[in-house]
Amino acid sequence: MEPLVLHVDGFWVSPYVFSVFVCLREKGLPFETRLVNLHEKAQKTPDYKAKSLTARVPLLEHGAFQLSESSAIVEYLEDTFAPPRYTPTLPAAPRDRARARQIMAWIRSDLMPIREERSTNSFFYGRKVEPLSPAGLAAADKLLAAANALIPDGRTSLFGDFSIADADLAMMLMRLVGNGHPVPAKISDFVAAQWRRPSVREFVERERAPYVPY
């Protein structure tokens, strides 16, 4: 098999790196990681930019093929390392798969006040946060209403079997849950169940270098 290399942020706080890391682990694929120190602008070096069209993390190298954008990477891995040989990380049924893609796209393109006011380094590093602004509260309400509608009652995954949409949604919800925002039990149970997955724990519980804001 051609080698897989995942380029990750130096503090392991990127939710987009997280998606790809979990996908690779769930599929049981061997891969190396390389740190890109964003606080030192390592993503702007000519070497890195020659590999990554977007000059961001994550970047996946698979042999000579280089790909940026986490959801594109997840789809590439799903197509290249497809079930039944490899564990699926997206649902098979077209409507569930479309819903998973919808959630992944939405989480990457909306809810900006939560992403800004509750960056993932807050719960990875136990950083104290200010109360949410009115825009942050409105975004939190929107997220919680969607999560409540998406998570089936009595279940702790969106589609029965795990998918990357579960991990992505849990990471977004953790920005609230991990900072003490009150959420319904169904949602905290969902986040807790996702946080117990070995692939997620490996990312969440890893040792991190002291954080340098950037």
Ligand X SMILES: N[C@@H](CCC(=O)N[C@@H](CS)C(=O)NCC(=O)O)C(=O)O
Q: For the CB of residue 189, give the shortest distance to ligand X in the complex, in Å.
A: 27
- What is the enclosing helix (H) or strand (E) of 5? strand 4-9
Q: For the CB of residue 37, give the shortest distance to ligand X in the complex, in Å.
A: 11
Measured CA to CA, the distance from residue 97 to residue 112 in angstroms comes to: 24
Q: For the CB of residue 182, give the shortest distance to ligand X in the complex, in Å.
A: 27
Q: For the CB of residue 192, give the shortest distance to ligand X in the complex, in Å.
A: 24
What share of residues in the chain are helix, strand, coil (percent, to 5)?
Answer: 50, 10, 40
Q: Which is nearer to ligand X, 70 or 157 (CB)?
A: 70
Q: Which is nearer to ligand X, 114 or 187 (CB)?
A: 114
100 to each of 63, 152, 157, how far by Cα in Å? 28, 14, 11
Nearest residue to ligand X, by Cβ distance, number only: 56
Q: Are 14 and 58 in contact (CB under 8 A)?
A: yes
Q: For the CB of residue 45, give the shortest distance to ligand X in the complex, in Å.
A: 12
Paired tokens of 6: 């995942």
Q: Which is nearer to ligand X, 43 or 157 (CB)?
A: 43
- Residue 166's closest CA among 183, 185, 152, 182? 152
Q: Which is nearer to ligand X, 117 or 183 (CB)?
A: 117
In the complex, the residues that contact ligand X under the rule CB under 6 A are: 9, 14, 16, 38, 43, 55-58, 69-71, 108
179 to each of 77, 121, 128, 205, 207, how far by Cα in Å? 32, 11, 8, 17, 20
3-class SS of residue 59? strand
Q: Which is nearer to ligand X, 105 or 145 (CB)?
A: 105
